Amino acid sequence: MTHYDVIVYGLVCLDVIWRVPHLPPLGRAVRIQEERKVIGGEAANTAIALSRWGVRVALLGNALGDDDEGRLLRSLLARDAPGVDAHFLGTAPDTDTLVPVLVATPDGQKTIFGRDRTRLRFPVLSPELARSAAVFTADGSAGSAGERACEVASRVGMFVIVTNYSEDLVGGTRAAISVVSADDVEAGNSPAEWTTFAGGLRDRCGATVILTCGERGCFLAERNGRREEARHFPACAAPRMVDSTGAGDVFRAGLIYGRLHGWDLQDTIRFSSAAAALGCGEMGGWAGVRPIPEILAFQRVASTYG
């Protein structure tokens, strides 16, 4: 069997991005300045970032529809992500390819309009495939199928990183690192509350926790047996803010890259923050991914948000 460095499991979709000058008031119109159709989804964004850094990646995502959107997405994967092994993506004739609309404003923020994800079909991770890679990562979009895949990955000894999953999944040995967005949990609104939340989640689940808080940086609560207070890492300021789509996915890719190269976790977080900041310089969740030397150079001189 082909050997990979990483198996990325989760959401794959066709993003439709509308670039607009501003969001209109209720009942008013706004002109779309630009429209793009690009590869999207948390798993796809992370896989493409890793592949651009020379990592061998297998992408296991939800089945695509037997429709024009699915065919377009496959052609885009072949053209724009040749380093990602996407042959595991199945086709389900009785489903539609997921096509969310992302409305991006000049400040780099986005508003997302999407369909229900509960009907998505995700593949089974076989132990044989799991044994072919060192790291497994899954995002919360995969739901219970992702939980089962994490269990398989953990049983065969893979290093498991999950994003926005339940405490039940993270508990025990099923996940080594859990990355959680403060936007998706009741973590409070202040650094003191975020510090407490990250440490409490680590103590309940037994995994290293990274709580991401956008421009406010992230909070690391390491699983090291000492139950230390979570440590704050400021976010790098994006030198060019075009679109923040996928910043968290690139951040996760940075964590995986550092793990594969044996970096200290704190150094890895600083690298991940720099990679995510640079990634905001282009439209879409992966177009702004920069080469490793450029990220390292930026990391040395990057300013941080106050």
| SS3 of residue 262 by DSSP | coil
Closest CA to 125 of 197, 169, 175, 61: 61
Q: Render pLDDT for 256-265 as a digit per residue (tens, 0 to 9).
A: 999 999 999 9
Torsion from C-alpha of 136, 282, 258, 178, nearest 10 degrees: -50
The mean per-residue pLDDT over the stretch 146-167 comes to 92
Closest CA to 230 of 221, 239, 222: 221
172 vs 178, which has greater pLDDT?
178
Q: Render pLDDT for 219-234 as a digit per residue (tens, 0 to 9).
A: 999 988 777 899 999 9
Contact 286, 276 (CB under 8 A): no
Band (pLDDT 50/70/90 cuts) for residue 110 is confident
2 vs 183, which has greater pLDDT?
183
What pLDDT, on a 0 to 100 scale, did the predictor assign at position 9? 98
Backbone angles phi, psi at 177, to 5 degrees: -130, 135
Structural domains of the chain in order of their starting residue, each with its CATH number: 6-23+33-301 (3.40.1190.20)
What pLDDT, on a 0 to 100 scale, did the predictor assign at position 173? 60
What pLDDT, on a 0 to 100 scale, did the predictor assign at position 306? 59
What pLDDT, on a 0 to 100 scale, did the predictor assign at position 164? 86
**Does residue 2 surpass a pLDDT of 70?**
no
Contact 193, 260 (CB under 8 A): no
Backbone angles phi, psi at 207, to 5 degrees: -115, 155
